[in-house]
Amino acid sequence: MRATVIYGAGDVRVETVPDPKLVEPTDVILRVVRSCICGSDLWPYADMAPSEHGRRIGHEFLGIVEETGADVTTVTKGDLVIAPFVYSDNTCRFCREGLQTSCVHGGFWGAKGVDGGQGEAVRVPQADGTLVKVPHTEDDGLLASLLTLSDVFPTGHHAATKARVTAGQNVTVIGDGAVGLSAVLAAKRLGAERIVLMGRHQARTDLGREFGATDVVAERGEEGIAKVRELTGGDGTHAVLECVGTKPAFEMAVGVVRAGGAVSRVGVPQYEEGPIGPALFRRNITVTGGVAPARHYIPELLPDVLEGKYQPGKVFDRTIGVEEIPGGYRAMADREALKVLIRP
């Protein structure tokens, strides 16, 4: 089969690799129907050290079950399923608490002999715990929205949930990438009244407004903080969803959060230490968030997506085939594309 292998910064190749085979009785072989490129794939694309053998990549995909291991009971051949961006047994003590990203039998796609999602097929470990069956559809828009349940929409939802966004609240979302826009949609879905989106790419912030942003602030740093404070009577907002991951973004989040509020991070921090000293403490600011347990959130989010009530798939603004994946990375790295969908 054809699959994507990353060999280092800027070096993504599509290659012929061995077809996946069942290894454990809990495995499933999936034929990938939709996949995509994640903002987090751009980190190794930016700075991965050159590697002789490379590694598989891609962690968001929908597929059709082709083969099932002997112990698999929840899905059968022909089912359309969502694969969350980590696999998990969904039964361990962490999974039972809704933290499938810390599953004791779980792991990441593209690591330790497990396939990546940016290819034609994938061996899925812990298939019963991992996969979520959905109704068959030929609707491209619906398939795109279902695909977002792998990662980007639950990640935005995680940001909002960990910040305890509730009806009537004011929320700031930092970042107009696909995660930031998903966080806007998630905040809207949870009933946020005012949603300030901090971003400067108009095509993206326009989609942000469509998703529910009531205000857009293009300014950054001190200027951006002053603008959000001005919009909120000087206080800032209870919830700040930090969807970038850089230190300046975190500092901006701390600057716009209301006393007693929460900064919820879903952009992987690109820093080891951050400002959590007396200034934050005096104002009772909570810092929360983390890697989203997408598997936990899919049952909650799926009905709204199936009904078409929310269309998180609108974050995809380009569709390519598997052979075009290297160009897809370039387009996202150059910010020509917001998020690239792959149709094998």
Footprint of a copy of itself (CB under 8 A) = 93-94, 97-99, 101-102, 162, 235, 259-260, 265, 268-269, 271-278, 280-291, 293
- Pairwise CA distance, residues 93 & 272, whole Å: 28
Comparing CB distances to a copy of itself, the nearer of 179 and 207 is: 179
CA atoms within 13 A of residue 15's CA, in its CB half-sphere: 16
**What is the closest distance, in whole angstroms, from the C-beta atom of residue 107 to a copy of itself in the complex?**
13
Contacts for 303 with CB less than 8 Å, ≥ 6 apart: none
Comparing CB distances to a copy of itself, the nearer of 228 and 338 is: 228
The tokens describing 84, both together, are 């969350």
**What is the closest distance, in whole angstroms, from the C-beta atom of residue 171 to a copy of itself in the complex?**
16
Q: Given its phi and psi angles, is residue 32 left (phi above 0), alpha (psi -120 to 50 degrees) or beta?
A: beta
**What is the closest distance, in whole angstroms, from the C-beta atom of residue 159 to a copy of itself in the complex?**
12
CA atoms within 13 A of residue 90's CA, in its CB half-sphere: 20
- Pairwise CA distance, residues 291 & 189, whole Å: 20
**What is the closest distance, in whole angstroms, from the C-beta atom of residue 238 to a copy of itself in the complex?**
9
Contact 10, 45 (CB under 8 A): yes
**What is the closest distance, in whole angstroms, from the C-beta atom of residue 102 to a copy of itself in the complex?**
4
Q: Between vectors from CA 123 to CA 118 and to CA 124, what angle results, nearest 5°?
A: 100
**What is the closest distance, in whole angstroms, from the C-beta atom of residue 333 to a copy of itself in the complex?**
21
Comparing CB distances to a copy of itself, the nearer of 101 and 205 is: 101
Comparing CB distances to a copy of itself, the nearer of 21 and 282 is: 282
Comparing CB distances to a copy of itself, the nearer of 260 and 299 is: 260
Comparing CB distances to a copy of itself, the nearer of 246 and 319 is: 246
- Pairwise CA distance, residues 210 & 185, whole Å: 9
Element (H, E) at 12: strand 11-16
